[in-house]
């Protein structure tokens, strides 16, 4: 069964991370274009005034075979990269058969979201990285069925319903559109129960999406 997994790697273990160390003012986005076929991370957007320096740095990276800028827009550019088969994270992704869907930097780590045809492919990636000294850390892994049911963030059904209701009814707006007491009345539970569900639900949500343990 297909799965989605979140993994993290230190900046130095991700080729883009190494390049961005030299160009800290550039921001990279990979979620607008999803790779297809056998290519890993063929296109990404680079934003900032120092995009050309990023391209130059990538061209000098041993893990990059070729890099080009097929399109430019105001404030950024679309970059195309061809990665070498040298051992490393990119080669591990290609060899294991997983697909890179999204990547973003969080402090000293890059967090990657992967799609895999099964759990075994994720295990193969972990094994490859361990064999080639890539510090890959699995954050979570879920089947697509669990994701469609909203379980990938570790929330219980009550927590998910409470957080969604609070969002839809303006609890997080400024000023607030609803109080804890009104949320509790709508759910036929005590304000204390709603407060606890919100607190624990938001904690689980942040833990599953933003927090990366060092």
Q: Are 76 and 51 in contact (CB under 8 A)?
A: yes
Q: Are 100 and 30 in contact (CB under 8 A)?
A: yes
Write down the pLDDT at residue 31: 47
Is pTM beyond 0.85? Reply is: no
Helix (H) or strand (E) holding 80: strand 76-83
Tokens 């000023």, residue located: 175
Write down the pLDDT at residue 48: 86
Write down the pLDDT at residue 49: 84
Tokens 């990276």, residue located: 61
Biggest alpha carbon–alpha carbon distance for the chain:
62
What six digits make up the tokens of 165? Answer: 């209701």
Query: Where do runs of H (alpha helix) occur along the chain?
Result: 15-22, 51-59, 89-96, 119-131, 144-148, 157-168, 180-187, 191-209
What six digits make up the tokens of 61? Answer: 């990276």
Write down the pLDDT at residue 155: 75
d(C-alpha 150, C-alpha 191), whole Å: 24
Write down the pLDDT at residue 180: 92
C-alpha closest to that of 184 among 200, 195, 171: 195
d(C-alpha 47, C-alpha 16), whole Å: 13
Write down the pLDDT at residue 134: 92
Mean pLDDT of each 10-residue bin along the chain, 214 residues long: 85 79 78 50 82 89 86 90 79 86 77 87 93 90 64 73 88 89 89 91 78 50
Write down the pLDDT at residue 13: 84
């Amino acid at each position: 069964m297909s799965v989605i997994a979140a993994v993290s790697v230190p900046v130095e273990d991700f080729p883009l991370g190494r390049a961005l160390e030299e160009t800290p003012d550039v921001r990279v986005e990979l979620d607008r274009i999803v790779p297809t076929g056998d290519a890993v991370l063929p296109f990404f957007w680079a934003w900032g005034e120092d995009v050309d320096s990023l391209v130059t740095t990538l061209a000098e990276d041993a893990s990059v075979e070729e890099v080009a800028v097929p399109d430019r827009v105001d404030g950024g550019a679309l970059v195309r990269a061809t990665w070498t088969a040298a051992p490393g994270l990119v080669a591990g992704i290609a060899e294991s058969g997983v697909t890179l869907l999204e990547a973003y930097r969080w402090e000293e780590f890059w967090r990657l979201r992967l799609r895999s045809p099964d759990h075994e492919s994720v295990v193969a990636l972990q094994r490859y990285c361990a064999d080639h000294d890539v510090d890959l850390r699995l954050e979570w892994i879920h089947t697509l069925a669990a994701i469609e049911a909203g379980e990938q963030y570790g929330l219980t059904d009550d927590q998910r319903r409470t957080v969604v209701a609070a969002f839809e009814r303006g609890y997080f707006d400024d000023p607030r559109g609803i109080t804890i007491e009104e949320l509790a009345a709508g759910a036929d539970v005590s304000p204390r129960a709603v407060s606890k569900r919100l607190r624990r639900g938001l904690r689980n949500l942040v833990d599953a999406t933003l927090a990366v343990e060092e």
